[in-house]
Amino acid sequence: MTIVDVARHAGVSTTAVSKVLRNAYGASPAMRAKVHRAIEELGYRPYAAARGLRGKTYTIGVMLPDIRNPFFPDILDGLTDTLRDTDYHVLLGPSCDNEKDEGKLTDAMVDRGMDGLVLIAPVMSRTRLDRLATTIPTVVVGRHSRSAHYDTVTDDDTAGAALVVDHLADLGHRRIAHIEHHETDPARLAEMPNAVRADGYHRAMRARGLAVDIVSTSYTQEGGYLGAQQILARPERPTAIFAGADIVAMGVLTALSEAGLTVPEDISLAGYDNTSFAALGPISLTSVDQAGHHIGTDAARLLLQRIADRTRPAAQVKLAPKLVPRRTTAPPRP
């Protein structure tokens, strides 16, 4: 079942069918109707793989660091909701949290002729990111970099971290530890959301005259578990922990519970992302909302615009985070 069959069935040329399929200029209403009827009657579906050879594949690729992090589905929902009424399909790569896997995945997506990419918090070098974006329309989410070739959607992570520090400090906490996602590359130190968040914590603490206490693990449940264990092994225990992501806070809860500590009586805990798990009754985690759905919507919109016009100036959308206080934060024991 090909375009040739449709053309024959409708009594027109293959060119005509192609034009109708693409809503291209140069097909009369009568022709469109004929072709559409033929498509209907034959149950024809264009073969995207073949379209890609000359035109577009109507496919958008999404890369994310960790499918287990419940924040990313929010972004995905925003993306798919926006793309639902278009001809585009979204295809997701499996989690990849290192430069090598990222390279493999983005290569694979380019090789499959995808029309555009949404990269969520990519760790690849700025050079590579830039090169990629000149190859294929790209929107970068979360990473605080700026390029002429790709659009970005970010949340103000500096402000978000300050929100948490201020909240805890206002409650009376003086010793507030932070668990961050380990970042050594100096170039990425200024760009990755986790690094900016840690920097925001740093600034906010110093602005209050408080001593900085950072533990480096990763933005995973295990990272939170291990980070909390390190913190609990300290001679002087902090009275509050600011986990860089809700998923980290989940692991922290396990470690605290195993240590026989209760939240917020023994120690306060705040997360980041305001995922659906933060709202869970028995957890009720204080967190920072960065409106994942909205991020996804913006990313999709920007990508569609960039696909339509690859020369348009790059846009930087920056969203403002919001603190959502819940039951895991309270004044420290007197």
Partner DNA sequence: GTGAAAGCGCTAACAA
Partner DNA sequence: TTGTTAGCGCTTTCAC
Using CB under 7 A as the binding rule, whether residue 308 contacts DNA is answered as: no
What are residue 59's DSSP bridge partners?
89
Which of 251, 230, 226, 165 has the alpha carbon at shortest distance from 201? 165
The binding track of 27-46 with respect to its own copies, each residue x by CB under 8 A or -, is ------------------xx
Phi first, then psi: what are they for 32, rounded to 5°?
-55, -45
Q: Which tokens is 69 given?
A: 């992090």
Identify the helix (H) or strand (E) that includes residue 140. strand 138-141
Using CB under 8 A as the binding rule, whether residue 94 contacts its own copies is answered as: yes
Identify the helix (H) or strand (E) that includes residue 155. strand 151-155
Of 73 and 172, CB closest to its own copies: 73
Strands 322-324 and 89-92 come out as unpaired
Among 90, 159, 210, 307, binds its own copies (CB under 8 A): 90
The binding track of 168-207 with respect to its own copies, each residue x by CB under 8 A or -, is ----------------------------------------
Using CB under 7 A as the binding rule, whether residue 311 contacts DNA is answered as: no
Gap between the terminal Cα atoms of the chain: 76
Mark 163-173 as b/e (b = at least 16 C-beta within 10 Å).
Answer: bbbebbbebeb
Output the smallest distance, CB 99 to DNA, in A: 24
Query: Binding to its own copies (CB under 8 A): which residues in 128-167?
Result: none
Using CB under 8 A as the binding rule, whether residue 244 contacts its own copies is answered as: no
Identify the helix (H) or strand (E) that includes residue 287. strand 287-289
Using CB under 7 A as the binding rule, whether residue 14 contacts DNA is answered as: yes
Per DSSP, the three-state class of 237 is: coil
* 91 contact, one of DNA, its own copies, none, CB 5-8 Å limit per kind: its own copies
Among 41, 170, 185, 258, binds its own copies (CB under 8 A): 258
Distance CA 130, CA 160 (A): 27
Distance of CA 64 to the CA centre of its chain: 6
Among 13, 80, 95, 147, binds DNA (CB under 7 A): 13
Phi first, then psi: what are they for 48, rounded to 5°?
-55, -35
Of 134 and 318, CB closest to its own copies: 134
Which of 94, 138, 98 has the alpha carbon at shortest distance from 114? 138
Output the smallest distance, CB 258 to its own copies, in A: 6
Output the smallest distance, CB 291 to its own copies, in A: 17
Distance CA 118, CA 60 (A): 8
* 4 contact, one of its own copies, DNA, none, CB 5-8 Å limit per kind: DNA
Of 70 and 200, CB closest to its own copies: 70
Interface residues with its own copies (CB under 8 A)? Answer: 45-50, 52-53, 57, 59, 61, 67-68, 70, 73, 76, 79-80, 89-95, 104-105, 107-108, 110-113, 221, 250-251, 253-258, 263, 276-277, 279-284
Interface residues with DNA (CB under 7 A)? Answer: 2-4, 11-19, 21-22, 24-28, 30-31, 46-47, 50-51, 53-55
